[in-house]
Amino acid sequence: MAVFSRCSRVATAAIPPTQTAAATFAYVIRALSSSTFSSSSSRLSSESDLNQDKPEVLGALKREPKGRNVHWVFLGCPGVGKGTYASRLSNLLGVPHIATGDLVRDELASSGPLSSKLKEIVNQGKLVSDEIIIDLLSKHLEAGQAKGESGFILDGFPRTIRQAEILEGVTDIDVVVNLKLREEALLAKCLGRRICSECGGNYNVASIDIKAENGRPGMYMAPLPPPLGCASKLITRADDTEEVVKERLRIYHEMTRPVEDFYRSRGKLLEFDLPGGIPESWPKLLRALNLDDHEDKQSAAA
């Protein structure tokens, strides 16, 4: 990644912070997605440069599905289960699952330079800025590319039109899965989330049983209990309070739903209403993604 580092430094000196983050992200995405990343590249002076060689980049990406790993995005309200299903598909297809929420939490736990700023933002239920998210994502992608990873399933990015436009400018997203869940179930699910303080495993203590009424079907979502070794070590995330969860949902509807329209207008949005918990939803999601031939591998992705 010497080329990346050299180009990154030149770009940093030449352009403003938000644009620098976009430039850095562009370089890493290209290196991760395409074999055409060349040491002859020396400078990215503005976002207009991204579009000058866009046909070449897209030409390398728009191969048959067997020619490269998937480039997928998962959208949905906070707590809907993006991480759960993206992680299962990651295991099933052998591509990296990159959750920006996890990147933020890792940065919080690291006590790095962004830690105190992020803590205030997250605890108030606000959206983390484009610049911070792109910076964290770029670093993660760079590390993955160095390990030989290719393809990705993005979870939690893009969350704004600005982020979607940056992503659209540097890679070709195959499909955007928009997970949807009834709001009463979503709130209960968020408040039931627990994390093992030792291993970092995610669990849920909520037992959701919504009765059918007024023509709407019932819904049951069983708890996701921890193994015995984790049961005494469960903690609640600081931002999983009813007030903060409701604020996150409000902000999502206000700021992130336009991203759905962005991908819907491009014919890439797959709307998927979760019918219940994992046993009910997982097989149907596989069929919706034309992965019926993977259904026999469900247990391997559990």
Which residues are part of the catalytic machinery?
A: 82, 159, 193, 237, 248
Task: Enumerate helices (H) and strands (E) in the chain, giving the number of each.
Answer: 14, 10
Quick one: which of 226, 296, 260, 289 has its CA closest to 89?
Answer: 289
Measured between alpha carbons, how far is 287 from 235 in angstroms, rounded to an integer? 35
Tokens of 98: 């990159």
- φ, ψ dihedrals at 194, nearest 5°: -140, 150
- In angstroms, what is the C-alpha Rg of the chain? 20
For residue 158, cis peptide bond before it (omega within 30 degrees of 0) = yes
d(CA 33, CA 145): 9
Could you tell me the two tokens for 203? Answer: 């669990």
CB 160 within 8 A of CB 107: no
Give me the residues paired with residue 235 across strands.
Answer: 195
Q: How far apart are CA 153 and CA 173, in angstroms?
A: 10
Contact in structure between 97 and 82 (CB atoms under 8 Å): no
**Shortest CA distance to 204 belongs to which of 175, 184, 225, 181?**
225
Planar angle of CA 143, 84, 81, nearest 5 degrees: 120
Q: What's the first-to-final CA gap in the chain, in angstroms?
A: 34
CA pair distance 146, 157, nearest whole angstrom: 21
d(Cα 255, Cα 77) in Å, to the nearest integer? 11
